[in-house]
Amino acid sequence: MKENDMTRENWKQLCAAERFEAHFKAFMSPEGVQFATPAAERAYQDRVQMLKDVVQLKKPKRVPVCPIIGFYPFAYAGVTPEEAMYDYDKLGLALKKFHADFVPDSLAIAPVYGSGKVFDILGYKLYRWPGRGVPPTAPYQCVEAEYMHADEYDEFINDPSGYFTRFYLPRVFAALEGWQMLAPVTDVLELPFFGPYIVPIGIPKVQESFQKLLEAGRAAMEWIQAASAVDAATLTTLGLPSVFGGFTKAPFDTLGDTLRGTHGIMLDKFRQPRKLLAAMEKLVPIGIDLGVRSAGPQHPVVFMPLHKGADGFMSDDDFKTFYWPTLKAVILGLIEQGNVPYLFVEGSYNHRLDVIADSGIPRGTTIWMFDQTDMKEVKKKFGSWACFGGNVPVSMLKAGKPQQVKDYVKRVIDDCAQDGGFILANGAVLDDAEPANLHAMIDTGKEYGVYR
Amino acid sequence: MNPLVEAISEMREDDAVRIANEMLDQGTSALDILDHCREAMAMVGKRYEAGQYFVPELILAGEMLRRISDIVKPRLAEGVAVKKLGKIVIGTVQGDIHDIGKNIVTFMLDVNGFDVKDLGVDVPVQKFVEAVKEFRPQVVGLSGFLTLAYDPMKNTIQALKDAGLREGVKVMIGGGQVDEQIREYANADAFGKDAMAAVALARSWTT
């Protein structure tokens, strides 16, 4: 992409479809990347083209095989999740071995595993991670609680950033407890009124918190350099693009997962529905901005894991009232910027398909990855307007046999992939599997998924 | 229908708490109020089974029960012995701290008349073995959300066998990624897709 296409003024002139093209052009020829061989570069471009084709509901060369990978590469390479989060050499060895041995069409990127060292410095309380609250062999897991209290909606709605700074961060990071004493930055107006803002910064506990933050920042820099080098090595030698550029969340999940918790948000739905709806409205532009910024100019796809709107979590009416409207607004906002929302639909969504399919989201702009949703129904309802995929059971990848996986993959491709617009993947995040079964999934997808 | 039963089962929280207070003031015994609550919870469970209620309604029902119990408990002379259908030990297996699904199953078993001992999350194999020894349940429920819960499920069931306790209990497993393949892998007696399946299994094994 030409440098000036991305300048702010030019960008404003472009329509959504032109922005989409600009993103994919940059994704196809990433700036500053030196491929090891011309073959690797061609393989990379082929894979990006397959992704673009499926998003636009065309038939690609073949079905792209983009498994959704959790901590599995480490189990495969004999490295514990704890080591992966603390020893970046081992992180790199395991991920390089995994990609070289399995050669999927996408990269399991290193930064998602996080740095245990950074979290240790900050005393992160929102998660337990391997060796810190869960066994060294377990993946990191969120500790649900009411980090935002039921009576704090007004503070949140009035100033979400201020709320995060002075209420939320001090609760989830032990090292930032002192930030409760900070004043809002919007207090800083004129010389005579500057005191109340700057004086709390001098309080020893606040000083300590900033020292810790600086320390964490240094550790994060060391980590991201190591993690980026790991990804670059695989990208440039094998030609594997990451499917994800950035990430964001559904407003209901943002509040329900890590602020109010499931218990809290479900009670809010009854006790203070207007405030819940207002808080979610507030999160729409914030969610769009996060997605666009985290994807950056070189990658179109924004990962969105969907949690608490699944079948069973709420009635269809509640889904239509509380979950879907603000999620849809975030999706539309991303599309407007030329981004491609990648909806990772955990659990089952059989009751939600009609609502989503009828919602007026433009054709050929989104990716929907399903787990236990009925794929024939998805094909029927989504086939003509959105790329979709997923569904290979992780239980089968762990406890099944290669022939069984092979048969299953063929059936999914027969049922769903005939017209293009399909990505082969496992249904849920993969932390554990038999290598022969994962090989069977990837190899069958590549062989059987060729369009003739 | 009794107004308290109606208010709880219709999700009218403020009414439910007000009516419970009024009943207490008018001389209804604490025991009777709790009986109404039990009746209401059973109705909530039925509506959940019928696909009319979902997670939010179960959570609010639990919350109403907690608030009303707090009000009437001081008036309760002693603990009430209710005849239970059977005893169940339940928990999320080692290495996994997810509990939304497990809590729903516990709630549904409880409102359906089972005596449930919930061991919490990240429960070590040995803790399950000890709980089975002490509590003597007819049913053990193992929950797990992660693919990495498969082996701990298998190991827990093996440990029950090694301790000579496997013959005496039925083991059911459940969680987002649990299916027949994993039931076979873990050597469980059955798996359940949802809380209704757990209740049906527990009933079939205890009555």
**Cross-chain CB nearest to B185 (options A133, A141, A399):** A399
Which residues of chain A are modeled with pLDDT < 70?
1-6
In this prediction, what percent of chain B has a pLDDT beyond 70?
Answer: 97
Is the pLDDT at B78 greater than 70? The verdict is: no
Torsional sign, CA A348, A351, A352, A358? positive
A424 forms beta bridges with A65
Residues A397 and A437: beta-carbon distance below 8 Å: yes
CA distance A431 to A75: 8
pLDDT recorded at residue A9: 75
| Residue A159: how many other CB atoms lie within 10 Å | 16
pLDDT recorded at residue B75: 81
CB pairs under 8 A between A and B: 93
B48: closest chain A residue by CA: A312
Q: If you write DSSP's letter for every residue of A117-176 in order, what string do you get?
A: HHHHHHTB-SEEEETBEE-TTSPPEE----SS-GGGHHHHHH-HHHHIIIIIHHHHBGGG
| Residues of A engaging B, defined by a Cβ cutoff of 8 Å | 70-71, 128, 133-135, 137-139, 141, 143-144, 262-263, 266-267, 269-271, 312-315, 318, 346-347, 393-396, 398-400, 428-433
CA distance B93 to B107: 18
Buried b (16+ CB within 10 A) or exposed e, B161-198: eeeebbeebbbbbbbbbbbebbbebbebbbbbebbbbb
pLDDT recorded at residue B80: 60
| Residue A452: how many other CB atoms lie within 10 Å | 4
- Identify the band that residue B1 occupies on the pLDDT scale cut at 50, 70 and 90: confident
pLDDT recorded at residue A1: 44
Identity (one letter) of the amino acid at A253? D
B70-87 average pLDDT score: 78
Q: Calculate how close chain B gets to A418, using CA atoms only, in Å.
A: 27
Interchain proximity A399–B182, CB inside 8 Å: yes
Identity (one letter) of the amino acid at A12? K
pLDDT recorded at residue B207: 80
pLDDT recorded at residue B74: 82
CA distance B125 to A131: 18
Interchain proximity B96–A399, CB inside 8 Å: no
| Residue B11: how many other CB atoms lie within 10 Å | 17
Strand, helix or coil for residue A358: coil
Most A CBs within 10 Å: which of B63, B105, B147, as the mutation test of the A interface?
B147
Q: Calculate how close chain B gets to A313, using CA atoms only, in Å.
A: 5
Q: Calculate how close chain A gets to B184, using CA atoms only, in Å.
A: 9
| Residues of B engaging A, defined by a Cβ cutoff of 8 Å | 11, 13, 52-56, 59-60, 63, 94-98, 100, 122, 146-148, 150-151, 176-179, 181-182, 184-185, 194
Q: Calculate how close chain B gets to A73, using CA atoms only, in Å.
A: 13
* Residues A400-414 pLDDT 10s: 999 999 999 999 999
ipTM of the shown complex: 0.92
Q: Calculate how close chain B gets to A141, using CA atoms only, in Å.
A: 7
* Residues B170-207 pLDDT 10s: 999 999 999 999 999 999 999 999 999 999 999 999 98
pLDDT recorded at residue A218: 98
Interchain proximity B147–A432, CB inside 8 Å: yes
Interchain proximity A394–B177, CB inside 8 Å: yes
**Cross-chain CB nearest to A138 (options B52, B95, B184):** B95
CA distance A78 to A171: 35
Q: Which of A104, A136, A132 is nearest to A119 (CA)?
A: A132
Helix runs in A337-374, H state only: 353-357
Q: Calculate how close chain A gets to B177, using CA atoms only, in Å.
A: 6
Chain A residues touching B59 at Cβ < 8 A: 262-263, 266-267
**Cross-chain CB nearest to B54 (options A141, A314, A346):** A314
* Residues B126-142 pLDDT 10s: 999 999 999 999 999 99
pLDDT recorded at residue B76: 75
Interchain proximity B56–A70, CB inside 8 Å: no
